[in-house]
Structure 1
């Protein structure tokens, strides 16, 4: 199974909601088309940034179907299909396949703190329920239990498991495990703040929140790295760090507010996530203004287009 597409900056899309709390599919389409235009190889739908715990089964399927329709073969669609109950993870995986997803992203079971002896059969059950490739998601800050190296290696022996989204922020782990994994297996950061060192150390890319906001800048940083211009890559990455830190601190409310400043969606969230307070909004506005004032001509990025609010932006 060739997985060259699972690389670079891949956006974890937020789920836009209207004033009534329903999914805003028009805004969702804008977000998808923006990433297709930027050259992303894939999009992630209905996962962490998409406020997955607040989405119904019907809503999850609807998001995947709409993403597949919009993609029309131009970009891969990765469906968030994780749960801390194995039978529900299996159900969501089958549903994603029926909706046309190209792969599923399945998270380590959260809250109930399973042993590694339970994590392994959990993921095997997910894989056996579908013909789709499965990407594992290890996010210890949310799941409390990590995906141990030994468990990861056992799972990666099957070609159906095609990659790992590592949201631990531990670049040393990548260095430790990458040579012991099979050639088909892809390693992606799930942490924007450590994405550059992760990729420098041999990672294949980043499933990212910040690339929703500045996709061209992320692509330029990646291009500098792949073309052997580490100094340029470090500089571009350093420009991402302030806004990435703010997005990580109040995720995904900060991202939704930032995208609302660009006129791409409304900042509405679902409880228990709430919108940013005034102080946090001011910080996000300032960080975006600093990006917009930067001169990007040397990397051929039109940030005036990327960061100029559209008419009717929700400021």
Structure 2
């Protein structure tokens, strides 16, 4: 269920900054249509840091509603407070989500023992499947493979989104965890290499606007057809790179708006609009990968 291309979906907003249900429904239908394996709702790309608790819950429930059982929804439930992460997780029990993505606590910079206790406490307070999320560039704290291995022994911790871009970590983790423990890339640029080394897929930013291509690339990679997978990835590489020239999700939201996937390119402070220079680079990348033409020529978006 969680192997292949999983999208870290953006949270579309109205011109006044409210959650835009119309655009969210359109995005969910796009991913169903293009065979994305699952949707992560209100992760980092979904602007979890700028949504209040009610909006956070509402957006996830709306995503579940629009999915209508046709695509699994993973809820972003991480927080830098253990009690808050537990509360977010428990509030979504019996909501229809298939699991939770729980980020390493940010700003606090806990020890490895603190990280273990944080995720252990969450796991012990719910039966929901938990996917760990390690992204030290965002959190200021790196969860080391030894801690992941120790956490993998807890029954409902089923995998990790590893977003360091460090490919050596795959086997450092994979060689010491149970066979079905998921190791998922959180970095589009290195995702194909990650899968070639034994990873299970990617939680992708690029998939927001290239769902069909990312789905096909991952499907080929998981069948060990890396020659054809790499042809797709090479075409997408300028997009992978351009989407992180400005802080995520600024570029991906601009691209989704440019492709008419969302009605408004609305961000909340402290996020600010995409710089003019990056607009030019990203526009060229979209054209180079035929993403703009593909949207003009077919019915990818219902």
TM-score (norm 2): 0.94
Change (3 A) 1:135 1:227: closer
Deviation digits for residues 214-246 of structure 1 (CA, Å, limit 9, x no counterpart): 111112222332344322221211111111111
Shift of 1:140: 1.0
CA distance in 1, matches of 2:20, 2:7: 18
Shift of 1:307: 5.5
Name 2:282's counterpart in structure 1.
284
Name 1:97's counterpart in structure 2.
93
Do 2:77 and 2:85's aligned partners in 1 also have CA atoms closer than 8 Å?
yes
Write the mapping of 1:1-315 to structure 2, written as runs, cut at 5 A: 5-250=1-246, 251-265=248-262, 266-292=264-290, 304-306=293-295
Shift of 1:98: 4.8
Deviates more, 1:216-225 or 1:197-206: 216-225
Do 2:254 and 2:274's aligned partners in 1 also have CA atoms closer than 8 Å?
yes
CA distance in 1, matches of 2:298, 2:54: 32
Gaps of 5+ in 2: none
Deviates more, 1:177-186 or 1:193-202: 177-186
Higher relative contact order (CA 8 A, sep 6+): 2
Do 1:269 and 1:275's aligned partners in 2 also have CA atoms closer than 8 Å?
yes
Deviation digits for residues 145-196 of structure 1 (CA, Å, limit 9, x no counterpart): 2112221111101220011000000111102221211022101000000000
Shift of 1:308: 5.5
Do 1:61 and 1:99's aligned partners in 2 also have CA atoms closer than 8 Å?
no
Equivalent pairs counted in the alignment come to 297
Do 1:64 and 1:100's aligned partners in 2 also have CA atoms closer than 8 Å?
no
- What SS class does the counterpart of residue 207 from structure 1 fall into? strand
CA distance in 2, matches of 1:216, 1:194: 18
- What SS class does the counterpart of residue 73 from structure 1 fall into? coil
User: Displaced runs of 4+ in structure 1, greater than 6 A?
Assistant: none
CA distance in 2, matches of 1:124, 1:10: 25
Do 1:8 and 1:205's aligned partners in 2 also have CA atoms closer than 8 Å?
yes
TM-score (norm 1): 0.90
Change (3 A) 1:243 1:264: same
CA distance in 2, matches of 1:64, 1:111: 24
Q: CA RMSD in A?
A: 1.7
- What SS class does the counterpart of residue 97 from structure 1 fall into? coil
Do 2:123 and 2:154's aligned partners in 1 also have CA atoms closer than 8 Å?
no
Shift of 1:18: 0.9
Shift of 1:104: 0.7
- What SS class does the counterpart of residue 92 from structure 2 fall into? helix
